[in-house]
Structure 1
Amino acid sequence: MTTTTLPVTVAATRRAQPARADELQAWAATLCQTAARFPGHLRSDVRRRRTGDTAHVTVSLTFATATAASAWEASPERADLLARGELLTDGAPVTAALIPGTPPPPRWRTSLIVWAGLFPFALVLNAAAGPALAAMPLLPRTLLTTALLVPLAVYVGIPLVSRLLGSRAR
């Protein structure tokens, strides 16, 4: 039996403290340069996103194997850099490990999660405001209901259903 080793990408996003976005971006560049010296390092990427007065910096590191990525994550160099990065950021990092070849969930599961996250809000809206909505012309009624239902489903319903289902039914 032949096994194939796939690269592993680890990404983390940090929110910069006010007026420290440039320092955080410089720190991220140093982190990438340090990671590049580790065996198995393939590439690094730093992206900066600004929303109003808040800046977020995302660092992505790709290693040839999970073992190489683990060696970087266990290194004292990384620990030292993370400690220095803490001084520049607010909140906990948002991290993800992206392993190529991991299939997305089946479409039927995604459809079920979206429906289950949307249905309760649609039911309550129609029960509570049905008569008032029925009096409205179709276009404004549709604009209003979708403007209410989509954010509720995306920010409340779908995450809740996803947590309840966990990784089952994959």
Structure 2
Amino acid sequence: MSDVTAATDTTALDLAGLTHDGRKPAFDVVEFLKRPLVAHLATWKPETACDSPLWFHHDGRDLWFISANRGDTFPDKVRQAPNAAVGIVDFDKPTGRFLHLGFRGIARPHPWDADTAIALLSKYLGSNRAGWDPRFADAPESRTNVFVRFTPRSFVARDQSFLVGG
């Protein structure tokens, strides 16, 4: 069984359980993933590494990223080298908040699904599709977009917040 197949057969990580280094998460990871933050998907090939800042949807198990097939290369990258990492940071300098969530796992292209697209885009653009930026208005009905589906195998959740000096 390949690593990609094995990733689809595993159960979801317990995001309230211990992190890869044996610690309790420093914050509620499930609630954190509901927020419209930006994830960075790190992929690599033998000749290069790439970092893609992306909007995401968490379905309770996997992270879903939109790939507009019009020139995006990362579906091909993850097909060739599925091991990937995801980092999500909530940083607010005025308050000193610095929360970091990191995952290691398997990324793979996945067929387009309108319901998942609507869930992802609504998180960032709101539930009223009529008010969406025109670039995204027809995205759920796309015939060219694909998803990159990321299945986490381990995670770390750290609160690296700091006191703000006066």
- Coarse TM-score class (shorter-chain normalised): under 0.3
Larger radius of gyration between Structure 1 and Structure 2: 1
Q: TM-score, normalised by structure 2?
A: 0.25
- Bigger fraction of residues in strand: 2
TM-score, normalised to structure 1's length?
A: 0.24
